[in-house]
Amino acid sequence: MSVLRRDPITGRWVVFADAPPPVLAADGPCPFCAGNEQLTPPEIARWPRSDRRHDRPGWSVRVVPNARPLLRIEAPLERTADRIYDTVSGTGAHEIVIETPEHRRSLAELPREQVALALAAWAARMEDLKRDKRFRAIFVFKNQGVLAGAGVPGHVHSQIIGLPVTPKALKEILQGARAHYQLKERCAFCDILQEELDAGVRVVQESARFVAIAPYASRHPYECWILPREHRADFEAAAADERDDLAALLPTLLGRLERVLPEPDYNLFLYSGPNRQARPAKWSTLEADFHWHIQVLPRLLHETGFELGSGFFANTVTPEQAAAALRAVT
Amino acid sequence: MSVLRRDPITGRWVVFADAPPPVLAADGPCPFCAGNEQLTPPEIARWPRSDRRHDRPGWSVRVVPNARPLLRIEAPLERTADRIYDTVSGTGAHEIVIETPEHRRSLAELPREQVALALAAWAARMEDLKRDKRFRAIFVFKNQGVLAGAGVPGHVHSQIIGLPVTPKALKEILQGARAHYQLKERCAFCDILQEELDAGVRVVQESARFVAIAPYASRHPYECWILPREHRADFEAAAADERDDLAALLPTLLGRLERVLPEPDYNLFLYSGPNRQARPAKWSTLEADFHWHIQVLPRLLHETGFELGSGFFANTVTPEQAAAALRAVT
């Protein structure tokens, strides 16, 4: 059984997994392709929605448990003192969203309707998992390419993890946004959105409902954020027409990245509000002070000791240069 | 000229460098070998100490400026508002400590006296750089191997960076240690040291003055910390006999790592107190609440989106397993 341990100085959590991640034979059959459904654990959900034909072809988007989960939903939640240290049981969800039945590398290759189904799957799974009060936050992310930590390269998918503690990186964003709100009575992300639309030089792409920017303090070359124009704390609370707009913008944005950086490895992070059902008092002001968004982080180089050890990043491409290059291609 | 930009939400700093890092031809002459002194910028210091023979052979340890520095010591320090954002000029020091005149890959291959000179160089450079009140902190680190971000593989060296803002990762450690002290009136690292010596299972190696442990919440397999038994905030304040003791322990510890993980890539971080001359009031309690130490972080895998995006780490080797494996080899 996995267990979470807390670093006593920094509050950083580490999952000690009970099984190493699977090593898939590069020449074996792809477990995410239609027809190979028996190579994954039993299906959790599929789109188009159906109660029949589970684990058989006929799906456009399919959600399955991770075959080697970091956390397990059946583990009872226990918070334990281990002498001077703190541990939490490895209780959580670890799911895979297979975003197309065809063997495609990237969301950028998929039609808008297919991406819309993938986003519907993200929203539905987040909504469902937030009903479980053991989960403090649900984190959706994507590892594309080996440098980004991908385990199953070559077939586009995302991962959804439900966590019994709020992840440190999300907590920093939540706390930073709250501090900004408390000082100014304005949402930090709404301020960034307005500043970027005014300045223009870091805007990569706009749609009716979203703005994609190269953020002011981009960690890596060509980092992009997608900010919804409408202030809202939770991705899963967005209406279907907002998701449809994103389903057009997201593959276009990734397509720009793939034109500027051939076959780029990148991570995608979806930062949505933490689970208020788990801690209502702690997040009582969240509707005002947090603004869901997506971050896309290209991984061109290995993080150095300077970056990992100091928390600084060193970048050689300014977001103004990155935005200009990304705007120039389609 | 480099510039530092601050992420407005998380407070993370990014250095936008004015030159990309150098790409060295793998088959070119090694700029760090004795006889090739003209391939580096002019020498800052050498050991054994000498005012003569600069930039000519005869040294055991040599300190030179980084040929493509992230920060420049001649840049005037300026803190500027950039509309809603914050920037700081790229003012700082970026030095290389060449830890042997011979072409050796690892500190583990060097005799104790040679390592002692390298540690003396770290201490002397930190002491000197802390006289410059523009520098909030001095960070010493080592990138060994490509996965750890090394630019000049194959010749053992460290980097020293003087920074005009306190790095976020050091700040987290300082704040965590201070919070512990304020609650308990005890140093957090002294508590960890006592707990680890009591428990024993995570101790890798002991010397008269130091204890090497696999930390309780190890981020990666075989992570090690070296804690001085004597509580002290600053590495550079340690006496020569304490450094000599470390000069025996450090290569032995790295040698254990290299026995368990053949040719391991790793980072080494030296966390010493920030520069009190720059901000005396802010760090007035530091002598009590901080405890300098070294962290060695093996880099076996790429950080995944889960790790980078959530701030969690996923590990498959417990520190108890790692310590047992490291103790079993010499």
Domain boundaries along the sequence of chain A:
96-327
A21, A70, A304 member nearest B149 (Cβ):
A304
Can you give the pLDDT at residue A306?
A: 95
**Nearest-Cα residue of chain B relative to residue A171:** B310
Edge-to-edge strand list for the sheet holding B85-89: A313-315, B13-16, B3-6, B85-89, B79-82
CATH number of A96-327: 3.30.428.10
Asked whether the whole model's pTM tops 0.90, one would answer yes
Are A223 and A297 in contact, with CB atoms under 8 Å apart? yes
For residue A22, which phi and psi values (nearest 5 degrees)? Answer: -70, 145
Query: What is the rounded CA–CA span in Å between residue B175 and residue B228?
Result: 20
Can you give the pLDDT at residue A1?
A: 84
CB pairs under 8 A between A and B: 245
Q: Which two tokens stand for residue B37?
A: 């002194």
In which element (H, E) is residue A86 found?
strand A85-89
Contact call for A313 and B176, based on CB within 8 A: no
Interface of B with A in 264-293 (CB under 8 A): 267-269
- Secondary structure class of B229 (helix, strand, coil): coil
Distances (CA, A) of B70 to A316, B126, B187, B312: 10, 17, 34, 28
Distances (CA, A) of B75 to B70, B164, B275, B308: 12, 11, 19, 32
Q: What type of residue sits at position B28?
A: G
Can you give the pLDDT at residue B263?
A: 87
Residues of chain B with pLDDT under 70: 19-26, 51, 152-153
Can you give the pLDDT at residue B26?
A: 66
Nearest Cα residue to B308 out of A15, A17, A167, A89: A167
Can you give the pLDDT at residue A256?
A: 98
Interface test with B, best of A4, A302, A317 (most B CBs within 10 A): A302
Contact call for A141 and B191, based on CB within 8 A: no
Distances (CA, A) of A5 to A89, B4, B141, B215, B225: 9, 34, 26, 11, 17
DSSP 8-state assignment for residue B108: G
Distances (CA, A) of B145 to A71, A117, B152, B258, B315: 32, 42, 9, 12, 20
Query: What is the rounded CA–CA span in Å between residue A44 and residue A52?
Result: 12
Contact call for B310 and A20, based on CB within 8 A: no
The 10 Å CB-count burial string (b at 16+, else e) for B155-190 is bbbbbbbbbbbbbbbbbbbbebbbebbeeeeebbbb
Asked whether the CA dihedral B176, B181, B184, B186 is positive or negative, the reply is positive
The total of other beta-carbon atoms located within 10 Å of residue B104's CB is 16
Give first-to-last CA distance, chain A, whole Å.
47
Residues of chain A with pLDDT under 70: 19-26, 51, 152-153
Out of 3.40.190.10, 3.30.428.10, 3.40.50.10860, 3.40.50.150, the CATH code matching B93-327 is 3.30.428.10
Interface of B with A in 58-97 (CB under 8 A): 70, 82-85
Query: What is the rounded CA–CA span in Å between residue A220 and residue A313?
Result: 8
Can you give the pLDDT at residue A25?
A: 60
Can you give the pLDDT at residue B262?
A: 86
Contact call for B5 and A216, based on CB within 8 A: yes
